[in-house]
Chain A
């Protein structure tokens, strides 16, 4: 084996690493670094506009909202992050008089949230905050030529600065809220239109800034990216006040208890005005230097490197003292999720994200130990591995040997088939008779669509799912499990289990609806339903075929209209669909975030909202308003039960599935409690680098002998070739002629 070793050593030397297939040096692998991947660069890192899941590993690591969820407690529990506690609103009537906590909703004109900030919240080192000993900013008055050639914030050295940070204050939160309404921020906020309905004065501010911005743009060359700085500190916003450096007051219109959940999202975070002042300088935009690419935050990590193939987050040296939680749920200690209780966060020094466009190499590198988790933002991609482990097929042996952590969890997400209520066949219907017929048709189709079969067949996509019996997923207040929670329209309770109603029930409903055996009794024509899907390609085809098969059980013909997501959305907006498949992932763990999807004010066609079925039911709307204002408790449960009952009966959706989740983590990753709701989880993670280096070396021993075999095979081919060549060269004219005559040579 000596030559093999020498060959490997040479290969390793050429590659500059200790393990030939290692994408990073072994020294780094043994370090306190977390490795993950990304398939698409984040579009927005500015907290004004970042709303996509794939951006959360960066935004929630670098920015800090006021609140967050306790890392270990379930159901999810809000607690203060930069705020000292979850604020309890004070209610005022229209005259500004304080109302009692249990005042009727209609009397409440304003909810006042007074939020106290923790001391010592400091920004990451950043050139925008760099000042000299005299207190002057080092990089606020740069000439374009001083910016030319600089494409990273690290190109602005901080070694000359007396300070490069400062404390975050309540005014910085107020500043960021104003940024949500500001057209000077080049990427519009997806949440502005929601917030301006709730935060007092935000809409007025937005309207005012819009006019000013249009005037500022009027004489500007459209190709010029420069626009002078707009100091939003000077702009009044009546509903948001920094009472002092550590007290923020936000006034919300009416009563909106769910507002506290928005305080846990990265829209309301501290942004220093200096950052905007720094990035606005002429030449910055040309070099892609802006908050959208280079965030400035107070979070546990800071972005230090970004390129097309790699993003690196490093520990923020100014991060204040935050400790790992010391209490959790039963079983957490057994999982080892309390082993680091009381330790200072973050536990990692660095997080490295590498580009992986394709799934296959990403999975293979996971199996080799080069990724600690394949995608830090998602826990819904481990189903195929879990299935292999459960079925004892494929890589199950390796999965067991590598002790990969595959931890299932239930997360507030739902998938469903929606009926367009504006459609004459499956929709609400114009006359009372038509309404009954259409409702029965929807109910029949809901029964016939066997979702239990769906998630069993498509386990690789949806994992250990649960049949949805209503819009509220498990884990949220309002969800009912067991017999009390079944949808009586589609299921019956039998032998302690929910069982889908027999197909005969659906067929009876079809007869009542006027479609016996799937044919319109009046015309005799078969019922043809158009099914819109935003999935195209082979991966979706099986799912589309499955859906066609479900409705065929009732004699219904289905024509699938598969299109890309843009075309699909366009049809939804115009109400051109008949039935469609869609889903919703929660913004926050409250039933309101699912029940609002069926309110009239969210109608897609009329209001461009999220109610793609355009369902409208005044009773449901009324109950929704009531439910939204109620605290969790029996009364709220009662209201939710009634709302769920209404939509079960009306069936604007065929309640589909609550997909499962499976977190994938290597054996050396600690504290990886799977969650899709808690986004600031990177600061809790820990890796055992020594174990990782040991395992990676063990799992990736190079095998050079096949190269030796290949060389021997080559020799076997070349040897007779050489002999043949020599023979031909030695041949005289006579032998050559004979060879030509026998067809062996030209």
Chain B
């Protein structure tokens, strides 16, 4: 187990370092420090001198990868990459271009994201399992066919449609929930009901369809026939035997959902005005703020790496035959 953990940690560090470099490379393939300065300083009356000053002030006044003017190791260390990018490996997230502390911002924004992600994760996975099991009860009946068609329809519709329709129907026509906004503390409940419902609905089609397929495959196994032969009801067969034996693929699928939720549902947060990690990422991209982009990509990668590790542990829990070596 310890060997396994150590190996995974080393892999993870390499992955994170690689992603950090890739983020830098891609970001500065599209943007230049001059672009960043101009965007920050505004479109009017921006003098070259102000741009140089801005770059110097924010540490973007050196060459990106190789400083030929410097000698020795400074050729590598006196560069934008080393000075502005490697700090993140010490978990130094730096500051936004407006001077806000990114670690503090992450701390403030992780709350709204978690407040939305947690119920979404629990409800979406739970409901999908319940619906998939429900369909199993009526497999090959008209109800099952209608259910599958409905699921395919849900899968085919863009999440943007769910957002706009949800806002229109529940926020505007029925006036049951605020269209957008946020409030800290218990007041956030009324702002989160609609986005959570919309997110769950947009996830429901694909997840239920997947779980239905998994359950269907399990239902053909011998142990199911044995269980039925024992005289167990169909519900008992599904809940006590089929569900438990289907947990591995369910964990894999749910494990993929979790990091996506934790790094923030970008479109959803944008439309519902939720100040979470997703809207922070958008802010970074719109402002061409490398520090934010880097921090969010790093955070996202870290969450993915961690989730996959936890998923592996969950496999071992769900199936005692699985050994982590």
Cβ-defined partner of B57 (8 Å) among A21, A22, A188: A188
Contact B100 A746 (CB under 8 A): no
- For the complex of A and B, 5 pairs with smallest distance between CB atoms: A308-B275, A15-B190, A23-B181, A309-B275, A193-B47
Contact B141 A43 (CB under 8 A): no
B contact residues around A729 at 8 Å (CB):
233-234
30 CB-based A-B contacts, threshold 8 Å: A21-B171, A21-B176, A21-B179, A23-B191, A40-B286, A41-B98, A43-B97, A51-B45, A151-B104, A183-B53, A186-B99, A187-B57, A188-B53, A190-B44, A193-B47, A357-B282, A360-B167, A360-B271, A361-B180, A362-B180, A364-B172, A368-B172, A569-B38, A608-B47, A610-B44, A702-B176, A703-B176, A724-B141, A746-B139, A746-B219
Once A361-B272, A720-B143 are accepted as A-B contacts, the answer to whether A16 and B187 lie under 8 Å apart by CB is yes
Contact B283 A41 (CB under 8 A): yes
Contact A360 B164 (CB under 8 A): yes
A contact residues around B139 at 8 Å (CB):
746
A44 to B143, CA, bound (A): 59
Contact B179 A287 (CB under 8 A): no
Contact B174 A702 (CB under 8 A): yes
Chain A contributes a number of interface residues (CB within 8 A of B) equal to: 78
Q: Taking beta carbons and an 8 Å cutoff, which residues of A are in contact with B?
A: 11, 14-17, 19-23, 40-41, 43-44, 49, 51-52, 151, 183, 186-194, 222-223, 225, 285-288, 290, 292-293, 307-310, 354-358, 360-362, 364-365, 368, 565-566, 569-570, 587, 608, 610, 700-704, 706-707, 717, 720-721, 724-725, 728-729, 743-746
Q: Could you tell me which residues of chain B, from 127 to 184, have a CB within 8 Å of some CB in chain A? A: 134, 137-141, 143, 164, 167-169, 171-183
Q: Taking beta carbons and an 8 Å cutoff, which residues of B are in contact with A?
A: 31-32, 34-35, 38-50, 53-54, 57, 59, 83, 87, 92, 95, 97-101, 104-105, 108-109, 134, 137-141, 143, 164, 167-169, 171-183, 186-187, 189-191, 219, 233-234, 270-275, 279-280, 282-283, 286-288
Contact B172 A307 (CB under 8 A): no
- The smallest beta-carbon distance between A206 and chain B, in angstroms, is 9
Contact B50 A14 (CB under 8 A): no
Cβ-defined partner of A21 (8 Å) among B108, B178, B288: B178
- The smallest beta-carbon distance between B215 and chain A, in angstroms, is 12
A288 to B182, CA, bound (A): 23
Contact B190 A14 (CB under 8 A): yes
A168 to B106, CA, bound (A): 38
Cβ-defined partner of A704 (8 Å) among B171, B176, B287: B176
Contact A308 B105 (CB under 8 A): yes
Contact A566 B31 (CB under 8 A): yes
Known A43-B40, A701-B175, A720-B143; further 10 A-B contacts with Cβ < 8 A: A16-B186, A43-B97, A187-B54, A190-B44, A190-B46, A288-B95, A288-B100, A360-B271, A368-B179, A725-B137
Contact A706 B50 (CB under 8 A): no
A contact residues around B172 at 8 Å (CB):
364, 368
A717 to B283, CA, bound (A): 45
A contact residues around B288 at 8 Å (CB):
566
Which residue of chain B lies nearest to A308 when distances are taken between CB atoms in the complex? B275
- The smallest beta-carbon distance between B128 and chain A, in angstroms, is 17
A contact residues around B219 at 8 Å (CB):
746
- The smallest beta-carbon distance between B296 and chain A, in angstroms, is 14
A368 to B44, CA, bound (A): 36
Which residue of chain A lies nearest to B48 when distances are taken between CB atoms in the complex? A608
A51 to B45, CA, bound (A): 10
Which residue of chain A lies nearest to B143 when distances are taken between CB atoms in the complex? A721
Contact A307 B50 (CB under 8 A): no
- The smallest beta-carbon distance between B27 and chain A, in angstroms, is 13
Once A361-B180, A365-B179, A745-B140 are accepted as A-B contacts, the answer to whether A194 and B35 lie under 8 Å apart by CB is no
B contact residues around A569 at 8 Å (CB):
38, 43
A587 to B287, CA, bound (A): 24
B contact residues around A225 at 8 Å (CB):
95
Once A285-B99, A308-B280 are accepted as A-B contacts, the answer to whether A355 and B47 lie under 8 Å apart by CB is no
A contact residues around B168 at 8 Å (CB):
364
Most buried by A among B39, B173, B177, B283: B177
A contact residues around B169 at 8 Å (CB):
706
A587 to B45, CA, bound (A): 11
A360 to B172, CA, bound (A): 11
- The smallest beta-carbon distance between A597 and chain B, in angstroms, is 11
A41 to B101, CA, bound (A): 15
A565 to B181, CA, bound (A): 30
Most buried by A among B38, B45, B48, B182: B45
Contact B108 A307 (CB under 8 A): yes
A310 to B183, CA, bound (A): 9
A contact residues around B233 at 8 Å (CB):
729
Cβ-defined partner of A354 (8 Å) among B57, B99, B138, B181: B181
- The smallest beta-carbon distance between B56 and chain A, in angstroms, is 8
Contact B178 A22 (CB under 8 A): yes
Contact B283 A361 (CB under 8 A): no
Once A151-B104, A309-B273 are accepted as A-B contacts, the answer to whether A610 and B45 lie under 8 Å apart by CB is yes
- The smallest beta-carbon distance between B133 and chain A, in angstroms, is 12
- The smallest beta-carbon distance between A573 and chain B, in angstroms, is 9
Most buried by A among B38, B50, B272, B288: B50
Once A292-B99, A308-B275, A724-B143 are accepted as A-B contacts, the answer to whether A703 and B174 lie under 8 Å apart by CB is yes
Which residue of chain A lies nearest to B183 when distances are taken between CB atoms in the complex? A23
Contact B279 A357 (CB under 8 A): yes
Most buried by B among A356, A358, A610, A744: A358
B contact residues around A190 at 8 Å (CB):
41-42, 44-47, 50
- The smallest beta-carbon distance between B187 and chain A, in angstroms, is 6
A23 to B272, CA, bound (A): 11
Once A21-B179, A23-B178, A356-B180 are accepted as A-B contacts, the answer to whether A721 and B138 lie under 8 Å apart by CB is yes
- The smallest beta-carbon distance between A372 and chain B, in angstroms, is 15
A222 to B80, CA, bound (A): 12
A704 to B177, CA, bound (A): 12
Once A190-B45, A356-B273 are accepted as A-B contacts, the answer to whether A364 and B179 lie under 8 Å apart by CB is yes
